[in-house]
Amino acid sequence: MDRARTELLIGTVYRLLEGCRTIAVGNSSPIPGSAALLLRAKRPETRVLMLGSKKHNAFTDGGRELFDCAAQGRIDAFFLGGGQIDGQGNINLVGLGPYPRITHRFPGSFGSAYLYYVVPRVILFREEHTARVMVPKVDFVSAPGVSAPEVYRPGGPHALVTGRCVFAFDKAKRRFRLESVHPGESIGSVRQNTGFDFDVAPQVGETAPLADSDLALLRGRVAGEIAETYPRFARALFGAQQAAE
């Protein structure tokens, strides 16, 4: 695991969560989970609901309770990914190829389409940033990124964080805008590895790392907290001793 890159991604997601009071984190999401816990460490009024955790989860009925809270407008942010993501924010969690004759099967959509509609700040997260993932058009729309104007939809894509860069989503234009590139990347390298077209912000800088004080908090308190749900991730990133605290 590239510790510097992983900590950069955690810091990037953490900044995108600023202003959120209640953050829900799905299964198999150690990086978004760490970002949410870092925000809570900085702002104790933040509520983190992490599926799969016994300690950092107030839900007693799992995903069904998450859906109820989201419908009531009580979830400010959630995370989604996909085997494919296209330029309109559509995600594919079903598989590759013409449905139903798919050639490769993905885990499945679960409640992604529902949460994509009702959670106001959905952050798309996928570490792999290649043309096979960032495609012109997904093979199967598990959850649409945009809807017709007459459709009531308080939710939708807010940003896309990858292993190469950060995109913001422009709902009016219905497309992504490149905001920053990670160290070692450029606008050219992002274009080369992206199958869809996108806009470019007037000033595309390098993605900022966490401040030293935030890094210390991440490697200390947050490392111990995320280890409860993701012990292997915590050991690999922060070291066995910290993960056991």
What does the pLDDT read at residue 241? 46
Task: Report the CATH number of the 3-243 domain.
Answer: 3.40.1080.10
What does the pLDDT read at residue 242? 45
In three-state form (DSSP H/G/I as H, E/B as E, the rest C), the secondary structure along the chain is CCHHHHHHHHHHHHHHCCCCCEEEECCCCHHHHHHHHHHHHHCCCCEEEECCCCCCCCCCCHHHHHHHHHHCCCCCEEEECCCEEECCCCEECCEECCCCCCCEECCCCCCHHHHHHHCCEEEEEECCCCCCCEECCCCCCCECCCCCCCCCCCCCEEEEEECCEEEEEECCCCEEEEEEECCCCCHHHHHHCCCCCCEEEEEEEECCCCCHHHHHHHHHHHHHHHHCCCHHHHHHHHCHHHHCC
- The residue with tokens 């955790």 is 53
CB 56, CB 50: distance < 8 Å: yes
Divide the 245 residues of the chain into consecutive groups of 10 and give the mean pLDDT of each group: 94 98 95 98 97 90 89 97 98 94 91 95 98 98 96 96 98 97 98 98 97 97 96 88 44
Q: Report pLDDT digits (tens) over 143-194.
A: 999 999 999 999 999 999 999 999 999 999 999 999 999 999 999 999 999 9
CB 116, CB 150: distance < 8 Å: no
